[in-house]
A and B are shown apart, each in its own frame.
Chain A
Amino acid sequence: MQTQTHEDARRVCIICSKGGLDEVYPALILGNAARMSGIEAVLFFTFYGLDAVTESKVDHLHVNLAGNPTSPIPTVIGGLPGMENLAATMMKKQMEDLDLPSVREMMQMLAEAGAELYGCELAMEMFKRTKADLIPEVADVITAGDFYDLSEGAQIIFT
């Protein structure tokens, strides 16, 4: 894109507030696609989105089966113990077959591509986590006010 040689390129700030396996991918894919197009990207993980950047949880995200109108499995069965694990494992396998990267791998790609990852301070206090509990790709833990400072002049996407 030699036509985009000026320095003030587009900037996009994406908020990820959900922690389901199917709910974090929109934010991550938007972030990655932004970087691939040369757009600066900031990702802000808050509430259950914090699970996607927590070392102990990032490999164990689940899909909500109960009360999910788009789930192929009826709630009665989806609510049984162990079904969520099973569904998550099946989904992960499908993703591997499609060569879709895991959440952890997406985070590594995003960080290496130059996207900035941040955790939400309020969510950290709610879940009683420290920066040491997060994956190394997270740059810092910031408040909503800091997020607004970062997103000056940028487009904010809420997922």
Chain B
Amino acid sequence: MNAPAPVTLEAKVDALSLKLDLLLERQRAVGELMDESGPILHAVMQAGTTQLADLEDRGYFDFGRATLRLLDRIVSSYSADDVDQLGDAVVSILDTVRNVTQPDVLAMANEATDVLHNADTLKPVGVMGALKKSRDDDVQRGIAVLLEVLRHVGKASAAATGDPKQRKLARHLAPRKRRAAPLRRRAPSAPGRPTSEAACELVKAPSTLVVPGFALDAQGFLADPQTWTREYATLVAPQLGIEELTDDHWTVIDTIRGLYLENGKSPNVRKMATASGLGTGAIYTLFKKAPGSRAARIAGIPKPVGCI
């Protein structure tokens, strides 16, 4: 038991002493390094601080502080999304910048700004003066350039709003389509359809309205409007295709009777619509075809005349 122990112990001590030596060596090296680098560091610090002081004198730090403030304002005003969107446009922005900084464009801009700068030396011109000035070649060229600019701006703005004219142009360029089927086909004349002679007969055809106790004229209108009763209306309406007289029907009937008794003339469809307050569409729905005559028959007043 005692035999291996002193071997390992000795070995350990040897190893330790070796390590210590290494450490000391290192320490010494570091010490030398520090000694040598001392003056160098000192010189560097000196130069560094001089340089920084110089920068401060020249205003770099003030500028930097102001820039940081500006950056702070930008960051707090815009969100990350805005920066992303800017990124999307950055290529076209750079293109525009490149175009604007072309030498010829810059020259034009310089000329224009020079003139604007010296604008106070120009004399005012009226309409006639403008016409006279436009005879100058340069002025004419300038006008052409500006008009062309306007045209491009207009084109761009039309593209931006999805101008319907652009869509129409696309439709013109696309192949023309015939309608697949005709719009609407009515059946050709059915038997019994009135010819022109027969149509005239219809207008003058004796009416077949029958209302017991009341005298009617040849076309089915009440001979004497004063003999009208509400019962008459309820008897006549079904024979004219109106099964039931609703409140709206009665509103119209009362209105037109009132107008007839007041004016001595039966109102036309337009007056019926406005006086009853129901509107033309409702009149045609309530009294179907030829509402003026149909309502007049029901209300016991003469047939309305007039074109409107």
Contact partner of A112 (CB less than 8 A), chosen from B182, B202, B284, is: B284
Neighbouring B residues of A128 by C-beta, 8 Å:
165, 168
Distance in Å from the Cβ of A72 to the closest Cβ of chain B? 23
Interface contact B208-A132, CB-CB below 8 Å: no
A122-153 interface with B by 8 A CB criterion:
128, 130, 132, 140, 142, 145-146, 149-150, 152-153
A88-121 interface with B by 8 A CB criterion:
99-101, 108-109, 112-114
Neighbouring A residues of B239 by C-beta, 8 Å:
2
Asked whether B277 is an interface residue with its Cβ less than 8 Å from the other chain, the reply is no
Q: Is the interface of A mostly helix, strand, loop or mixed?
A: loop
Interface contact A4-B284, CB-CB below 8 Å: no
User: In whole angstroms, how far apart are the Cα atoms of A63 and B187 in the complex?
Assistant: 41
User: In whole angstroms, how far apart are the Cα atoms of A142 and B189 in the complex?
Assistant: 24
Q: How large is the interface on B (under 10, 10 to 19, 20 to 34, 35 or more residues)?
A: 35 or more
Interface contact A130-B164, CB-CB below 8 Å: yes
Interface contact A38-B290, CB-CB below 8 Å: yes
Contact partner of B205 (CB less than 8 A), chosen from A3, A6, A29, A150, is: A3
Distance in Å from the Cβ of B164 to the closest Cβ of chain A? 5
Asked whether B6 is an interface residue with its Cβ less than 8 Å from the other chain, the reply is no
Asked whether B269 is an interface residue with its Cβ less than 8 Å from the other chain, the reply is yes
Neighbouring A residues of B205 by C-beta, 8 Å:
3
State the B residues within 8 Å of A (CB): 164-165, 168, 179, 182-190, 192-194, 199, 202, 205, 207-209, 220, 239-241, 268-270, 273, 279-281, 284, 288-294, 307-308
**Given A9-B289, A113-B284, 20 additional A-B pairs, CB 8 A:** A1-B290, A3-B202, A8-B186, A8-B187, A8-B189, A10-B199, A29-B307, A36-B293, A38-B288, A38-B289, A38-B290, A109-B269, A112-B280, A113-B269, A132-B164, A145-B179, A146-B183, A149-B184, A153-B186, A153-B189
